[in-house]
Amino acid sequence: MSSPSRLRTPTLALAALSMCLTLSIIGTAARSLNVYNTQQSTNPWLLPLWPNHFDVRELQLLIGTAGAIFVLNAVLAVGMVVGSMPANAIVPASALLSTIVGIIAIAFPSVLNARAPTKDTLKTWTCRWSNIIATGEGPPMQFLSLCHKTRFAYYTTIPVFILQLLLLALGVYALFTSRRGQHRDLEKSQDGHPLRNVSSSGGAQRNVSFETKSDGSPRSYQGRIVRDGKH
């Protein structure tokens, strides 16, 4: 039977939570962008006479980066579930890429928002007006909703980024621990140590690995040693 890793459950849980958050980012950002695109030419509060005043790249970037992180986390999860895939390599590689994407998702919108009021994003514009109580013809009531949605889409990238860092830390830890355990076991087998002792001492290291293909038995373990050492 396969020996389950104690890292598999928390890693899958982190990936699942990250995927849920990225879906919520995509939903809120896409909804806000759709409202802007459909009302840009008719809503006077969206400044149709100055179409270049707004920079919608923030929402576009949030949708793109959230989608990329979702796909990378899905690949990570599939790599852990499918036993034939090299999970020890897939997890850190996927987490590294998603961490880089997460940095972009936080940094670039921050730069765009800092340009307001010279050039607004939908977030800076709607949040500015939603805090003002106007008399007569004021900003649309939906500005408050758009403010909340755009803020949610942006600030949710922070916990998503933290989750990617945790996944990266788990992936790197499992990768190096697994390789160190395999190297130690190979050295012991070459030095003539009894296979029983090698298997016993290497059990703790194998439990750290994301891969669970080996059942830990002397026969399967000996086969892995022979393949790795090419005896």
Burial of 91 by CB count in 10 Å (0-12 exposed, 13-18 middle, 19+ buried)? buried
Residues 20-33 pLDDT 10s: 999 999 999 999 99
Q: Give the model's pLDDT for residue 34.
A: 96
Mean pLDDT of the chain: 82
- Does residue 221 belong to any structural domain of this protein? no
- Does residue 94 belong to any structural domain of this protein? yes
- Does residue 119 belong to any structural domain of this protein? yes
Q: Give the model's pLDDT for residue 224.
A: 46
**Helix (H), strand (E) counts: the chain:** 8, 0
Q: Give the model's pLDDT for residue 191.
A: 61
- Does residue 125 belong to any structural domain of this protein? yes
- Does residue 187 belong to any structural domain of this protein? no
For 101, the domain range is 8-177
pLDDT means per 10 residues, the chain with 231 residues, are: 67 97 98 94 89 92 98 95 87 96 97 93 91 65 91 97 97 83 60 49 53 49 46 46
Q: Give the model's pLDDT for residue 37.
A: 94
- Does residue 204 belong to any structural domain of this protein? no
- Does residue 171 belong to any structural domain of this protein? yes
Token duo for residue 158: 């922070």
Residues 54-74 pLDDT 10s: 999 999 999 999 999 999 999
Q: Distance (Å, rounded) from C-alpha 171 to C-alpha 192? A: 32
- Does residue 97 belong to any structural domain of this protein? yes
Query: Count of domains in the chain?
Result: 1
Q: Give the model's pLDDT for residue 68.
A: 98
